[in-house]
A and B are shown apart, each in its own frame.
With several copies, the nearest count.
Chain A
Amino acid sequence: MKFSVTVTLKKDVLDPQGKIVGQTLKNMGIKNLNQIRQGKFFEIDMDEKDSIKAEKQVKEMCEKLLANQIIEDFKINKAE
């Protein structure tokens, strides 16, 4: 069973990476860029048929390791 997870910085946390990427893009001529923020993306493949159980495990993975919840939010998607 496959999942994807996105981890993004919370709104009020500074995103130095996104900021520089944004500046660079503007310098490259993309003037109508309002904002870009950078996060992480995980593709997860579980050896688990029970989708409820699998999703619970993915949530646990996010809470315990993949995201630092003090500064980051995460979102789990079930892959088709």
Chain B
Amino acid sequence: MTITKNQIKTHGLKINEYEKIKELLGRDANLLELGIFSAMWNEHCSYKSSKIHLKRLPTRSSIVIQGPGENAGVIDIGDDDAIVFKIESHNHPSFIEPYQGAATGVGGILRDVFTMGARPIALMNSIHFGSPQNKKTQNLLSGVVSGIGGYGNSVGIPTVGGETKFNSTYNENILVNAMAIGHANKNKIFYSKAKGLNKSVVYVGSKTGRDGIHGATMASAEFDENSEEKKPTVQVGDPFTEKLLLEACLELMKDNSIISIQDMGAAGLTSSSVEMASKGKLGIELNLNKVPCRENNMTPYEMMLSESQERMLIILDDKKEVEAKKIFDKWDLDFVVIGKTTNTNRLVLNFDNQKVADIPIAALSDEAPLYDRKWTKVKLSKNKIKIKDLKKIKIEDALIKILSSPNHSNKSWITDQYDQVVMCDTVQKSGGDSAVIRIHDKDKAIAISVDSSANYCKADPKSGGKQIVCENWRNLISVGAKPLAITNCLNFGNPEKPKIMGEFVECINGIKEACEFLNFPVVSGNVSFYNETNSKSISPTPVIGGIGVFNNIKKILNIKTKKPGNLILAIGKTLGHIEQSAFLKENFSISDGPPPEVNLTNEKNNGLAVLKLIKENFVLSAHDISSGGMLVALAEMSMASKLGLKIYKPKKLINSIEYFFGEDQGRYLLEIDKTNLKKIESSLKKSNIFFEVIAEIQNDMFEIEKTFSIKVNDLYNHNNKWYHGFNAVN
């Protein structure tokens, strides 16, 4: 049987790619081999369009133990403690079946973290939906949120934060990015590189079913009207089995029986076995009759391409099989030796005493296509928007409009569906700038933040890429943590289009520049292309997940103002950049002009100055200024504590709207005690940091001098309305 053009196409491969396959094999492929190539060579697994650009990202620093290239990144947080973390997309499956898509996204990223020997300690996510007016949005939102909660809650890992955004650009392509963070002993990290000949290859976890066959191919294809037909590839998650697998793996990892371990994620058994062999420069031979199957009569093709969840592949030390099996028996999980490592450098599959596939490992990994795709520079808009040309609007009305908009409304409707405190180490839940998780049994903690700003990236991908790294860094500093490293998930349209590729390349350049400048390396990540339907692609949406560390658990800050009479200090200069702001978007539906400029030097200096003030115990609460500008940030601090603020009018001749709603970067709000003002001023002046005292805390009323006055409780109610109205049953 020879492979037909149609078969090549349905496997998501190009004709010239198949020609290359023939060349590598020295013959025609059979259908199973074609399936294996298609799984390994698709965008999702091979990173064929992105690899050459990802290489530019800075991945090293003194605290990086493992950068990109493993299941997750690993950083050193002092003592023997390491943090293992990664973010990953599950966009396409979540659009097709929101509950299961999101749930299995969480499951997959958890496995990436515990495969490396870490106990997961927190989950975060970034979810983007279409316009609330879009008929599909409500259903997708409620499905995704309950899927994320359903999985994390059941496994018993707190979901402590993330972001939720609405924009019509995601109408037909939602984004579901999940991040997992784990804690490990830095001397006991497990890797996926196979070592040694004739070692047992062991399959553990759930049985293999027919689910998700070709899921990875789906994640690498544009949607069209026929996407309905792709439905059966949806996988169903079983968080209960994941919990057992987690406990069993961590138990087995206590001794030294594991040589290498790899979860079966996208492209299941295929990619896990190829990856282990490829990294170890070995061959692997599997007897497919041994694979635990859920259904009768499964074919080798189905077994190799199934994306059944909650499975792992382990290469075990010779003498440890009996002991290891005992552990998996205890947890009622399958444990079967399905093959061995070989010196052939080939993937050999046997079934019913016949060799059914025989492929050089390198053909599947090193020889996979790599493209330097054409890209074009993005045209930047220089348009200036003049407030005086717009219809007059009262400041308080504009504020309320922003606070009650879907993008800025309080997210408790979502976060109340997530168990945020299970494991009893959550110092700070979602709602602040970063989540804070204590390292179990120790007096130290980490901060975690997840951020994106697609509007900025759309307007200027490079500047937007920089901005989002900076915002993430700011969020970590605002709780008092020292930023250490990031993971990133790059969500884009079709890379075969030069315009989209241009957005991608420039975003990466921006991220690279900011990460280098801030010494904030990238240690893991994921790329999701083809977020495009009927040729309409999403705005470029890089999502950054950052980790910071506290060495003193007593110096953790939140955004809640503490005491009437205290002052609010703004760090960083307010120039009033109003283009691309939430103010224009929510009040005038304008999203034109350039995003705010990012000045890396200011960003760094301001951030370090804030950390210093925190260290010196001068800061009582803190918040960074981001979407919505200064007034929204002030309102958020007020609503968190239910204390009011008296805000001073801007002293200089700057328009109040621009002053209060401009989104200039590099700014923070700090609550300080009046009596410390002098000392703080002199310290900041010495380091050349721009600052101004902008408000005083008071009871009940949130007001701008001589402008307006509103009860904090009313602001709170405006801020808490939208989700409940949107999701009400009636």
Q: Answer whether A and B touch in the complex at a CB cut-off of 8 Å.
A: yes
* Contact assessment for A20 and B234 in the assembled complex, using a CB-CB cutoff below 8 Å: no
* Contact assessment for B209 and A12 in the assembled complex, using a CB-CB cutoff below 8 Å: yes
**Chain A residue nearest in CB terms to B100:** A71
Residues of chain B at interface, number, CB under 8 A: 22
**CB-based A-B contact count at 8 angstroms:** 41
* Contact assessment for A27 and B729 in the assembled complex, using a CB-CB cutoff below 8 Å: yes
Q: How far is the CB of B232 from chain A (nearest CB, A)?
A: 8
Question: Quick check: is B236 within 8 A (CB to CB) of the other chain?
Answer: yes
Check A23/B729 contact, CB under 8 A, given A12-B211, A13-B211, A14-B211: yes
Question: Quick check: is A52 within 8 A (CB to CB) of the other chain?
Answer: no
**Residue numbers in B under 8 Å from A24 (CB-CB):** 729
* Contact assessment for B234 and A70 in the assembled complex, using a CB-CB cutoff below 8 Å: yes
Question: Quick check: is B210 within 8 A (CB to CB) of the other chain?
Answer: yes
* Contact assessment for A71 and B97 in the assembled complex, using a CB-CB cutoff below 8 Å: yes
A14→B294 CA distance, assembly (Å): 8
**Residue numbers in B under 8 Å from A20 (CB-CB):** 240, 729
A12→B96 CA distance, assembly (Å): 18
| Interface pairs (6), CB distance under 8 Å | A12-B232, A14-B294, A20-B240, A71-B97, A71-B234, A71-B236
A21→B502 CA distance, assembly (Å): 47
**Chain B residue nearest in CB terms to A20:** B729
A14→B100 CA distance, assembly (Å): 11
Question: Quick check: is B730 within 8 A (CB to CB) of the other chain?
Answer: yes
Question: Quick check: is A68 within 8 A (CB to CB) of the other chain?
Answer: yes
Known: A13-B236, A14-B238. 9 other contacts (CB 8 A): A12-B209, A12-B210, A12-B211, A12-B295, A15-B236, A23-B729, A68-B97, A70-B97, A71-B236
**Residue numbers in A under 8 Å from B240 (CB-CB):** 16, 20
Q: How far is the CB of B511 from chain A (nearest CB, A)?
A: 36
* Contact assessment for B238 and A16 in the assembled complex, using a CB-CB cutoff below 8 Å: yes
A10→B97 CA distance, assembly (Å): 14
Question: Quick check: is B332 within 8 A (CB to CB) of the other chain?
Answer: yes
Q: How far is the CB of B354 from chain A (nearest CB, A)?
A: 25
A13→B294 CA distance, assembly (Å): 10
* Contact assessment for A23 and B730 in the assembled complex, using a CB-CB cutoff below 8 Å: yes
**Residue numbers in A under 8 Å from B206 (CB-CB):** 14
| Contact with A14, one of B96, B231, B236 (Cβ below 8 angstroms) | B236
A70→B294 CA distance, assembly (Å): 20
**Residue numbers in B under 8 Å from A71 (CB-CB):** 97, 100, 234, 236
Q: How far is the CB of A23 from chain B (nearest CB, A)?
A: 5
* Contact assessment for A70 and B96 in the assembled complex, using a CB-CB cutoff below 8 Å: yes
Query: Which residues in window 353-394 of B have CB below 8 A to A?
Result: none
Question: Quick check: is B308 within 8 A (CB to CB) of the other chain?
Answer: yes
| Contact with A16, one of B231, B236, B295 (Cβ below 8 angstroms) | B236
* Contact assessment for B308 and A23 in the assembled complex, using a CB-CB cutoff below 8 Å: no
A10→B236 CA distance, assembly (Å): 12
A38→B210 CA distance, assembly (Å): 18
Contact with A along B276-293 (1 / 0, CB 8 A): 000000000000000000
**Residue numbers in B under 8 Å from A27 (CB-CB):** 729-730
Q: How far is the CB of A63 from chain B (nearest CB, A)?
A: 14
A14→B730 CA distance, assembly (Å): 20
Contact with A along B711-730 (1 / 0, CB 8 A): 00000000000000000011
Check A14/B209 contact, CB under 8 A, given A20-B729, A23-B730, A27-B730: yes
* Contact assessment for B308 and A14 in the assembled complex, using a CB-CB cutoff below 8 Å: yes
* Chain A to chain B: the 5 pairs with minimum beta-carbon distance, closest first: A16-B238, A14-B236, A12-B210, A70-B97, A70-B231
**Chain B residue nearest in CB terms to A14:** B236
A13→B307 CA distance, assembly (Å): 12
Query: Which residues in window 299-332 of B have CB below 8 A to A?
Result: 308-309, 332
Query: Which residues in window 1-37 of A have CB below 8 A to B?
Result: 10, 12-16, 19-20, 23-24, 27
**Residue numbers in B under 8 Å from A14 (CB-CB):** 206, 209, 211, 235-236, 238, 294, 308-309
Q: How far is the CB of A61 from chain B (nearest CB, A)?
A: 16
